[in-house]
Chains A and B, each alone.
Chain A
Amino acid sequence: MSALSRSFGRPGVLLCTALVTFPYALQRVFLHTPIESEMGTAQKIFYFHLPMAWGLMLFAMISGVAAVLQLLRRSERAEDVAKAAGEVCALLGIGALMSGAIWGDATWGTPWTGDARLVTTALLELVFIAYLIVAKFGGPMAARLAAALAVFGALDVPIIYYSVKIWKTTHPKAQVVQSLPPEMWASLWPCLFAILACSFALFELRLRQERVGRRLDEAWLALSASDVAPPEHTAPSGRSA
């Protein structure tokens, strides 16, 4: 029970904030923001697509930095952070890619182009999916290998971006975002806030689970180390890996 009640701390607050902000953001986006002149109504996807993409970058960086700390300081806490951030990163990446594909289908007439940002995001997403796969199935070295992968993933962001820039670019450039009319900015902020609050809430929940799992493992190990372990103890400790 204690684990459950503990999980209603900051994540609960964050989730509630997101739940309140989301309807507000929606009504701002649909009722108080002018329709973009070139792309039409479909541009409203942008208000949740951009926060997702930004969140992806943010959590990729968090995961990369935590992985560096994990490797250099051998810190378990950093490992948990890296893992949780990696999962949220993969989630946001899928969201950004899918919403981007739908938006592209509506405005460019094609869900996918060989554009630099698209390829960068897709590769980053692949790196973090690989990260999750290695962390889960990597065997005894999984934690450290996955950490190295996350480090390379975070490091790869600029390199990937640079290397795919050679292709043609149809994606709105960063200047477009900067030159958004103020009404659109005003609607973007609540959306960004809702998405990030929700992501951080999920991130913290995941982090707590990771920590609780670690404690549970330690407890089971201590228990089985205290005497000859009966066979039934191996089941739960293997399960929650």
Chain B
Amino acid sequence: MNPTIPTSTKTPPTADQGAVPAPAQAEDGYEAVTGLDKETVALKRTYEAEVEAKVASDYSHIVWAYGILWSLFCGFAIVLLVRGARQQRDLQALRRELERRGEQAVDGP
């Protein structure tokens, strides 16, 4: 995937693999793939897997963190809404009570 994976630490691929198929190349036009010996590929795969695991773990951490943050805000907003609704009911009760008293005052004397 990533073309800049360092392979320089490996022994040169031509030394073991590239040298053997080289004579065959001339006969049937087959061209050996150079630079991708098994060890390098294995190393690349491990490296990629590591990066992938790290990225996946990072993403899950991010999702959790952002999810918790915004659900906290939402939770608080819901608490506020519930309180507001309760105050509304209280206000309505107060209104009714005042009206009742007003009627009584009109009827009374």
Does chain A bind chain B?
Answer: yes
Taking Cβ atoms with an 8 Å cutoff, the residues of A that contact B are: 3-4, 7, 40-42, 44-45, 48-49, 52, 87-88, 91, 94-95, 98-99, 102-103, 105-106, 198, 202, 205-206, 209, 212-213, 216, 219-220, 223, 233, 236, 239-240
24-57 of chain B: CB within 8 A of chain A: 54-55, 57
Interface size on B, residues (CB 8 A): 30
Q: Are B87 and A48 in contact (CB under 8 A)?
A: no
Known A40-B55, A91-B72, A216-B94: A206·B80 in contact at CB below 8 Å:
yes
A106 B57 Cβ-Cβ under 8 A? yes
Q: Nearest-CB distance from A42 to chain B (Å)?
A: 4
In the complex formed, the residue of A with least CB distance to B83 is A209
Q: If the complex has contacts A91-B72, A102-B68, A233-B97, are A42 and B80 also in contact, measured as CB distance less than 8 A?
A: no
- Could you say which residues of chain A place their CB within 8 Å of the CB of B55? 40-41
Other A-B pairs, 18, CB within 8 Å; known A106-B58, A212-B91, A220-B94: A3-B91, A41-B58, A41-B62, A45-B66, A48-B66, A49-B65, A88-B76, A91-B72, A91-B76, A98-B65, A102-B64, A198-B73, A216-B94, A219-B94, A233-B97, A236-B93, A236-B94, A239-B86
Q: Which residues of B are interface residues toward A (Cβ below 8 A)?
A: 54-55, 57-59, 61-62, 64-66, 68-69, 72-73, 76-77, 80, 83-84, 86-91, 93-94, 97-98, 101
Best-buried of B65, B68, B101 by chain A (most CB within 10 Å): B65
Q: Which of B62, B73, B94, B97 is in CB contact (< 8 Å) with A42?
A: B62
What are 12 contact pairs spanning A and B, CB under 8 A? A3-B84, A3-B88, A7-B84, A41-B59, A42-B57, A44-B62, A98-B65, A98-B69, A98-B72, A223-B97, A239-B86, A240-B86
A99 to B62, CA, bound (A): 9
Considering the complex, give the chain B residue whose CB is closest to the CB of A208.
B84
Give the residue among A48, A95, A98, A202 with the most B Cβ atoms within 10 A.
A95
